[in-house]
Amino acid sequence: IAIEHDVELDARSYRVLNQCLDSGLAQAITTYYDLSLARGQQEFAEWLGFLAHELRNSLSSAVLAYGFIRTGSVGTESRTGRVLERSLNQLESLVSQTLVAVQLKSGLAPALETLDVQELVEDVHTAALPERGVTLGNAVEPGLKVSADPRLLGSALTNLVQNALKFSRDRGRVEVRARRDDRGIEIEVEDECGGLGDSSEALFEPFVQRSQKRRGVGLGLTITRNAIEAHGGKLSVRDLPGKGCVFSVRIPERGR
């Protein structure tokens, strides 16, 4: 609307508007979720919340960025261009995550393939768009292979890395590590979010956010845990007080 009426919308006003919309959506959807519990419709409420919030957030950013680029006031290589690229990547991730959730809810077994863990991590890194000076690194043991569904595991790792980038402090570091031990393959994502306090297990519940500074509905970790458990694996989190936390994905090796 601001673009159509040639009204300048500064960055601060846009952030405040987004925060208001996020807060209103989260409150409305949470209320709907609570009401739905008595009607046996909580799964539908989860879907509604997830799609409404994530689609609105990414689409509004993409539309605003495209509007500025279309006027010719900024180019595709500008900061606005990076916002557009990041928003489109988020939409792609949302579609992938939605397909994962549909697969999990339908009860279909994972379509297992032998995956190279190094290549999987590199694909996740390529899709990630660090900001605020946060750096992304990896330390993957050479030659690691895992039997997994590429869509399910890829979506799970992408969500963990995106969360780590989102919640880490400015100019922090996110590290992805992978190794083999006697219990299978372990992939860790460590961030610098400042620590979790007593909220670690609650993070896997629907509508729980890691920080009040990052608004949203909070369903990604619920879907991520379900995707890992579909492989007979486990997703856990370890607090690093005052520094950050480590999310650990453990998947058993098959036929070994």
Q: Which whole number is the average pLDDT over 199-212? A: 58
Note whether 45 and 32 are within 8 A (CB): yes
Mean of pLDDT over the chain: 76
Q: Enter the tokens of residue 69.
A: 């680029």
CA dihedral in degrees (142, 147, 152, 157; nearest 10)? -20
Residue 143 is predicted with a pLDDT of 92
CATH number (3.30.2130.10, 3.30.980.10, 3.60.20.10, 3.30.565.10) of 113-251 reads 3.30.565.10
- The separation between CA 218 and the C-alpha centre of its own chain, rounded to angstroms, equals 9
The CATH 3.30.565.10 domain(s) of the chain lie at 113-251
15 or 62, greater pLDDT:
62
Q: Which residue has the tokens 């987004």?
A: 18
Interatomic CA distance for residues 208 and 220, integer angstroms: 10
Q: How many residues does the chain have?
A: 256
Note whether 232 and 168 are within 8 A (CB): no
Q: Which whole number is the average pLDDT over 105-121? A: 87
Q: Which whole number is the average pLDDT over 34-61? A: 62
173 or 54, greater pLDDT:
173
